[in-house]
Amino acid sequence: MKRFVKLALCLFLCVIAIGLTACGGKKKEVVDTSIASYGNGGMVVTHGEYVYFVNGYSSYEIYTKDNLSTNFDVGGLYRAKLNSDKTLNYDKNGNVVGAEKLSGNLVGFETTSLYIFGDYIYYVTPTTEVDKQGNLQTSKLDFCRIKIDGGKTERVYKSDSDAADIDFEFYYAEGQVYLLVNENGTLKRIICSGKFSVDTIDENVTSVALHKDEYNVFDSDSYKNIFYTKTNDDEKIEIYNYNVVSNKQEYKVTTNYSTCELMDYRFGHLYYKASKEDYPSYTYVYRIDATKNAITNLIEEQITKMEYTEFYFLENETSGYIAQTEDKTYYLTYDAGGLSQVIPIADSKLNIMAIKNNYIYINESSEIKRINIYNLSTSHDTTQETVLTLENMQTYQYDIDDHYIYMYATMGENTYLYGIYINNPIDGDEFEAKLIGVYLESDIEESEE
């Protein structure tokens, strides 16, 4: 998955009245939809010559029934035109030149999750509906979409559960966008067109592998099949394969696991953490070919031989994995013969921001550093190269694409989205954290004092 966040939540919502989720926006020119969208599921999506983003965030706790109709700048949905090298232009105050606000009637909180399929942007935001007692329900979510050139916002689905109890993902398959939502063990499929019909796939679900395809192209099918687990009447854990398009369970297998938590479905493998009935005290990472024969016969491979608290995938499965305990960070390699190398990277649990383009990016004591994965694998070189020192910036959440590291950081009284251009420094300039968006006037004035 492109980001290292547990729950991805987007930050914008259009409101025409308290309790309703829809609004009109100024119509923009139509953007070419026959091209790829990069960064789906992350904080920023690049579509052709435009970058789409949310202009920072404010905690959902600041929103009340009295201010929901405000046309917010912080948290608004924006787009800006990119240069040919994917950089942006800035004015003297550090604002992105030509940034257009597509929607500003919104609420949101810390993390962002944007998707572009066809001519729509899909996103998630706290709902503005009230309960029967008149209480604002911002802990629950609205799943919405809006045309990429602005226009009307539509609500695709409203959650029944709080944000902390929801896992989700958008998929594109055979010309249709689907939303998969797991709410407190109830797994649902929503068709994101027409009347936005909702189907319950299964109940009492214990884990789901919702693959997050960071470079999904809108006219290319993402994963049609997902996997999930549940416990049967005999207290045995079962793994199910479900087809998003046909809305059918393709097959299932009963396991000999005491515990099983699905992690991801990528590189043609299903990854999961499990403990066996014979050794219930030990939990390891396994992978299995995502084919019916391999799964129904549990032809699995054990990836780890000790317990880890965190586990990161590299861009290429053959490059290995990054794993962490409470006080150490390791680089693992795996080949046909099994786990081949366990290389210590640090005698601490590194604060990993992202992994991209052969580098592990970390944030240690306000310094952004990177470790070269190739050097790590060939010569066990764990050198941490300093990319940038962050001064007076408290950062939250991280994301990355081929050109930028993205992060939220404070500026004045608000939190904005910043990007660090990670390709070779331009014209010999040093790496720099630059705003992806526009500041409020009050924050510009405060920074000048």
Q: Are 141 and 166 in contact (CB under 8 A)?
A: yes
Residue 395 CA from chain centroid, whole number = 17
Least confident of 193-197, 233-237, 353-357, 409-413: 409-413
Res 126: pLDDT: 78
Tell me the two tokens of residue 287. 């992978």
Measure the CA–CA gap between 355 and 422, rounded to whole angstroms. Answer: 12
Closest CA to 249 of 211, 207, 292: 292
Are the beta carbons of 22 and 158 closer than 8 angstroms?
Answer: no
The amino acid at residue 32 is D
The rounded mean pLDDT for the chain is: 81
Q: Give the pLDDT score at 366.
A: 82
pLDDT tens by residue, 97-115: 999 888 765 645 556 788 8
When computed from its CA atoms, the radius of gyration of the chain, rounded to whole angstroms, is 22
Phi, psi angle pair for 307, to nearest 5°: -90, 135
Residue with more model confidence, 214 or 147: 147
- Of 47-56, 82-91, 125-134, the range with the lowest mean pLDDT is 125-134
Contact 40, 116 (CB under 8 A): yes
Distance CA 149, CA 60 (A): 26
- 126, 13 Cβ separation under 8 angstroms: yes
Q: Which pLDDT value is given to residue 2? A: 40
pLDDT greater than 90 at residue 12: no
What letter represents residue 310's amino acid?
E
Q: Name the residue type at position 256.
A: N
At 65, the pLDDT band (50, 70, 90 cuts) reads low
Chain-centroid distance, C-alpha 167: 11
The pLDDT of residue 27 is above 70: no
In 3D space, the residue among 412, 429, 393, 449 whose CA is nearest the CA of residue 90 turns out to be 429
Q: Of 362, 359, 340, whose CA–CA distance to 351 is shortest?
A: 362
In this prediction, residue 3 has a pLDDT band, given cuts at 50, 70 and 90, of: very low
280/267 Cα distance (integer angstroms): 28
**3-class secondary structure, 376:** helix
pTM of the model: 0.84
User: What is the tens place of the pLDDT at every residue in 430-447?
Assistant: 788 889 988 888 777 555
| Lookup result for tokens 């800006």 | 80
Q: Dump pLDDT digits (tens) for 155-209.
A: 999 998 888 889 999 988 888 899 999 999 999 999 998 899 999 999 999 999 9
Give the span between the Cα atoms of 401 and 60, in whole angstroms. 27
